[in-house]
Each structure stands twice: as C-alpha cells, then as structure tokens.
Structure 1
C-alpha cells in the first residue's frame, strides 16, 4: 500500500524557535516604552512618567507569556486578557503590544478545546466593545468640554466592528488549523491502520499458503513412499522367486521416487521468494494416470472415472486428485496385504462424487486416527474449502470407505 505523504510541519524544535522569533520581534516594542519611561522619569516635572512605567509593565505582561502559548494556551490567554483588561482600567489609549491578544485567541482556538476557543472569542468581542467605549470617552474628555457631534452610534459601531475583526479572524484561523490538523491526523491513523491490516492479510495469506504446501507435501510424500515401499517389497520377493521380474519393479520404484522428488522440489520452491511452480497442478484427467500407477504397484484396483472432457474448476480438480491419492495411500498402508480397492469418480448434476472402498482389515479408521490422521484432516480441509462434505469410516461388510461430495459450480 502506498504510504500517505505527511504534510510539512514544524518539529518541536522548529515550533520553539518560531515562538521565540515571534515574541522576539514583538519584544522590540519594549525598548521603545522603556526608553520613554526612563526619559520621562529623569524629568521630575513631567507628571506622565508614572504612566509610561505602567505602559512598560503592561507591554511586558502582554508579550512575554507568548513564549508558552503552545504548551499552556489557557494560562497564556488568561494573563494576556487580564493585562488587556487592566489596560482599559489604567490608561485610556491603545498599546502596540495589544497585538498579543489575537495571537492568544488563536492559540486557544488552535491548541485547546473548541469550547475554550468560543469562550476566548466571546471575551474578545466584549473587550472590543469595552475598549471602544473607553477610548471614545478619552477622546470626548480631551475635547475640553467642546461638543463632539461625531462621537455617536454611527461612530461607535464601525470602531467596534473594526476591533472585533481581530479576535474573530484569530479564532477562525485557529479553529480551522485545529480542524485541519485533526483531519490530517485521522487520515494518517487510517493509513497506518490500513497498512497494518494489509500486512496482517499478507501474513495470514502466507500462513495459509504454507498450510496448503504442507498438505500437498504430505500427499506427495505419502503416495510416493507407499508406492516405493510396496514395489521394493515386491522386488525383494521377486528376486528370490523370479529374478526376471525384479528389474521392472525396481524401475517403477525409481520412476516413482523421481516424480515424488520433482514435486517436492517444486513445492519447496514456493517457500523461496521468486520461485513458482513449473509443472501444472494435477487435473481431473490425471486420476487415470494415478490409477495406472497404483495398478503397476501391484494393487488390484477397479476404477470408474468420468469422461476426459469433464470440465470442473481447477481447485475442485486438484482436491479430487488429492483425495483419491490419499485414499489409495491409506489402502496401501492400513488395509493389509492383498487388499483390493474400488475407485469411483462421477458427476451427478452440479456435484462431483468421489468414493474409494477397499476390502482390507476394516480397522483402518482407528489406525489412521492413532497415527495422527493428517491425511484425513487434509482431506477435510480441502473439501471444506470448496463447500463439500467427507465421510470416512469402516465400510459395511468389512474394509474402509471414503466418500466425498464436491460442488462444481
């Protein structure tokens, strides 16, 4: 899965330096008020020296807390808003440092919860009205009692709206940034979740593939070794009775061993990256070849097979072949010497029926169960994967019976 490209953001160190530069730029205002307070303080006759000291203290209180606006937005806003409130009470004119107030509103809307952002906005709107009234009163008082026809509602409203623009814009930008950051974070988390799910599906698929290869390996090894054992025993007996029969039996042993070894190499190749099977999977028509090989191994076998052109899904064909292969291997291992078997594979409507019956000892079910039952377990897993059913147990009148039904649609 393609990795989501993360938007560019300042890291913790970059954010700290940004706040330092922002506050440092605003701090340039402080020397102006400090020099003015110092000059006025040296002039004893200037009664405004105290006012300039107050200005300096208000400027420092409004600007310095901005250094911590990200980590403690509510505390910083409270200090800045309190300083702005004191400014309205102590002096009657604006300060340049009041630019800190919209920055504090932005910080609350961006880094605190939405309700605190709305509260900061409400306080800012109230402060716009209060500040306008205070400054207008100062303008009216400076007129020395002369009537000021220009100071009325038509003058108040534009000033209030102008001042309210700053906290509204700051709140809107902060809320937008917070919403966008939350949206981007949700996309990143969703992408991470999808990536983990994809990895889990791939791991599960690999596990299932290994299980399938294990079943294939069991079928190949069980069939090949059972044929080899039977042929080897037959060759040993033939060498004692009729030496001319032994070469044919040994040739069958060698051929079966080569085929089993080839299939094992192909299956093991699947476990290595980049390797694929070079031999096609067994088809339904290959059951006839399996029957002939079993007969060549010395088993008396009767087979009823479908027409070669019968079309079934590849998975069903492979499962049918493996079921017959495993059933015949069980006959060799568990039915006893001289046991005969009957194989029937026929299509009945949309169902493929497979039946393998032997006339052996009849206790093969218990023997298979005691040996681990991996063959029968593999059969059930294969058939269940295609929605089929399997019956395995002693046959009436003796022997063992395996009956499977597989849907072909």
Structure 2
C-alpha cells in the first residue's frame, strides 16, 4: 500500500495558503452591512486557521468564540463562517476522538442558534419551518466536516499501523535470516572441524610413524604413505562435498553423507578395538551422521591428546536408540589443552539437536571416555 502525504514544509505552506484564501474575501466585510464589527469577528474566526493542524482544539475554541460573537453582534451570515466547518474537520482529523465529538456537539448546538438568529436577522418570524430548514442545512455541513475529518484520521491510523507492522515484519525477517545464517555458519564450522581435524591428525600421526619406521623397514614407509594419500583424498572429497552444498543447487558429483556403514573406515589400526553395527543397519540419516561424527572426533582427540601407545575401544550399538562409546587408556584429564579446540562443543551440539545426551570426561582408572545416546 502506498500513501501520499505532504512533508512538514508542505503542510505549513498548504495551511497558510488555505487560511489566506479564506481570509482575503473577508477583508471586504466593512463594505457591507456588517461593517468594521463584522471584519473584527471575521478575523477572530479566520486567522486561527493558520495553526489548525498543530493546535486543532485551541483553534476550534477560538473559532467557536468568534461564532458566538457573530451571533451576538451580527444578525446576518458572514463569509468567515466557513472557518467553523474547517475547524470541526481539523479537530476530528488531528485531535482525539473525544475532542472531535465535542466539536460535533458544539456545532449542532450552534446550528440551532444560528438558524434562529438568521431568521430574525432577515426579518422573518421565528417559526418551525424556516428554523428547521436552516438547522438541517448547517448541521449537515457540520456533520460532513466532522465525518470527513474522522475518516481521514482513521485511515491515517490504519496506514500507520500497516507501515509499523510491515517494518516489524521486516525486522523480524532480518533477525530470522541472521539467526539462520549464524546456525548455518556453526554447522559448517562443525563439519569443517570434523573433516579437517580428523584428516590432518591422521596424516600427521601416520607421517610421524613413517619417519621412524622408514629407518628400519622402508616397506612400512610405503604402506604408511598409501594410508596418508588415501586419507588426504578422503578429506578432499569431504571438503568438495561441503563446498558444493554451499553452491545453490550444485549437487553434481557429491556423495551422500557418511553414516554407520562408513564407521569401519575410521577404526583402522591394531590399537583400536571396535564393535560396530552391521553395515546394513538402517537409522535416520541425521542420527547416523551424528554418530559417525562423534566417533570421528573422538578418535581425532585420542590421536592429538592421549599420548603414545594408547589403546582405544569403540562401541556403537543400535536398539531403541543409538549408543556411542569411545574410551582410551591415555593421559585423560592430564592431557594438555591448547584452548582452541571445538570438538567437544561440536559433538555436544550435534547430539542435542536430536534430543540425545552426551558425556565426556576422565575415565575411571585413567584415560578419557566419550558417551552419546541418540534417540531414534
């Protein structure tokens, strides 16, 4: 909805032009029977109209007083009487509802008084028919002015309410977009952390092992390099998948999200004792991805913080819920924390999304334990 309205400067010019146009004909009042008294009454009625928009109630009061003076001092109609319906309109338009109704009541009462005064002024007999005719005519003008002012005020209030509602909806939409963008950034950060941290930590561990093993058995180094290459390719595929999801509608060449069937690729090594569900086990994709990420991040933390010669147990089971348990016999709470890790926070947020529970902390007897329960 579009609504045209004058600005403050335009309003001032319009009010000044209106009042001036109404005032100029009244300057000829001394040339008629009303004389200078009529001119004075006309000025009292018309001059306040310059301020009708900003002080409508006061302007109406002055115009009404001028009309009373006219009824007492002048027994014929004056041009300046047009100020009264203009003042009634201004009160109904720019003042309160109560003020508008008051002006209407004063106008209807004044219509009867003016009708009687005019009938006498024109030398007629005060009878019902002429008084009623004048009263109805003047009352119609007053009621019309009041109705137009009330309608304009109601419409302006309606338009202002629509504008305020539109602005509020726009602000709320912007807030929702900002929240959604924040959530999406957090999700991408978790995915990036899980993929990059796991892949790089595996590569670093394997590279360190190859450096020492190569001195004794070069064949071992070749095997480790193959593992490093495979891990790097795996991480690269994951990175391409996530970056592809950021492109609108670009799903070409993207593989599905990892799930329970992909856990076997994480728990490779003689130092890991794993008990996993059957690859054909079916659970919701979101739950499967969360379980995969919990195991992935837990193993990453083991490689980074648990120390050398660590034994790890991974237990993932599916019943009425998916349970994930990863525990090691490493340094546990004694491991050094660089303060920059997001792994535990990311795992806790992932599990909370599915209404599950997450626990992480030192393991009785030494080491670290991560446990998660994901409802189906």
> What TM-score, normalized by structure 2, do the two folds share?
0.89
**Number of the residue aligned with 2:333:** 365
Q: 2:115 aligns with which of 125, 128, 132?
A: 132
Name the CA distance, whole Å, in 2 between partners of 1:371 and 1:19: 69
**Number of the residue aligned with 2:15:** 19
Q: Residue 373 of structure 1: CA displacement?
A: 5.5
Name the CA distance, whole Å, in 2 between partners of 1:364 and 1:374: 17
3-state SS of the aligned residue for 1:309?
coil
Q: 2:278 aligns with which of 292, 296, 307?
A: 307
3-state SS of the aligned residue for 1:244?
helix
Q: Residue 98 of structure 1: CA displacement?
A: 0.8
Residue 194 (str. 1) matches residue 169 (str. 2): yes
**Number of the residue aligned with 1:122:** 105
1:342, 1:357 within 8 Å by CA — same for their partners in 2?
Answer: yes
1:303, 1:342 within 8 Å by CA — same for their partners in 2?
Answer: yes
Q: 1:178 aligns with which of 148, 153, 162?
A: 153
2:91, 2:149 within 8 Å by CA — same for their partners in 1?
Answer: yes
**Number of the residue aligned with 1:249:** 224
Provide the alpha-carbon RMSD of the alignment: 2.6
**Number of the residue aligned with 1:78:** 61
3-state SS of the aligned residue for 2:335?
helix
1:346, 1:353 within 8 Å by CA — same for their partners in 2?
Answer: yes
**Number of the residue aligned with 1:109:** 92
Q: 1:65 aligns with which of 7, 28, 48?
A: 48
**Number of the residue aligned with 2:132:** 157
**Number of the residue aligned with 1:393:** 361
Name the CA distance, whole Å, in 2 between partners of 1:24 and 1:332: 89
Q: Deviations over 1:334-390 (max 9, x none)?
A: 3332323222222112x11111233x23x4234276756632222111111211011
Name the CA distance, whole Å, in 2 between partners of 1:265 and 1:100: 78
**Number of the residue aligned with 1:379:** 347
Q: How many equivalent pairs are there? A: 374
Change (3 A) 1:188 1:406: same
1:6, 1:188 within 8 Å by CA — same for their partners in 2?
Answer: no
Q: Deviations over 1:167-205 (max 9, x none)?
A: 222112212211221121111111111111111111111
3-state SS of the aligned residue for 2:370?
strand
Name the CA distance, whole Å, in 1 between partners of 2:341 and 2:312: 20
Residue 53 (str. 1) matches residue 53 (str. 2): no
Q: Residue 209 of structure 1: CA displacement?
A: 1.6
1:30, 1:59 within 8 Å by CA — same for their partners in 2?
Answer: yes
Name the CA distance, whole Å, in 2 between partners of 1:366 and 1:376: 16
190-199 vs 15-24, greater mean Cα deviation: 15-24
Q: 1:284 aligns with which of 230, 248, 260?
A: 260
Q: Deviations over 1:28-71 (max 9, x none)?
A: 4235435x25xxxxxxxxxx5xx322222323332232222112
**Number of the residue aligned with 1:259:** 234
**Number of the residue aligned with 1:42:** none
1:299, 1:338 within 8 Å by CA — same for their partners in 2?
Answer: no
Residue 230 (str. 1) matches residue 205 (str. 2): yes
Q: Residue 261 of structure 1: CA displacement?
A: 4.3
1:239, 1:245 within 8 Å by CA — same for their partners in 2?
Answer: yes
1:357, 1:399 within 8 Å by CA — same for their partners in 2?
Answer: yes
Residue 327 (str. 1) matches residue 294 (str. 2): no
Q: 1:204 aligns with which of 157, 179, 185?
A: 179
2:333, 2:367 within 8 Å by CA — same for their partners in 1?
Answer: no
Name the CA distance, whole Å, in 1 between partners of 2:281 and 2:49: 82
2:119, 2:130 within 8 Å by CA — same for their partners in 1?
Answer: no
Name the CA distance, whole Å, in 1 between partners of 2:334 and 2:213: 32
Name the CA distance, whole Å, in 2 between partners of 1:181 and 1:404: 59
3-state SS of the aligned residue for 1:206?
helix
Name the CA distance, whole Å, in 2 between partners of 1:77 and 1:301: 92
Name the CA distance, whole Å, in 2 between partners of 1:182 and 1:273: 45
> What TM-score, normalized by structure 1, do the two folds share?
0.83
250-259 vs 369-378, greater mean Cα deviation: 369-378
Please list every run of 5 or more consecutive structure 2 residues that lacks an aligned counterpart in the other structure: none
2:358, 2:372 within 8 Å by CA — same for their partners in 1?
Answer: yes
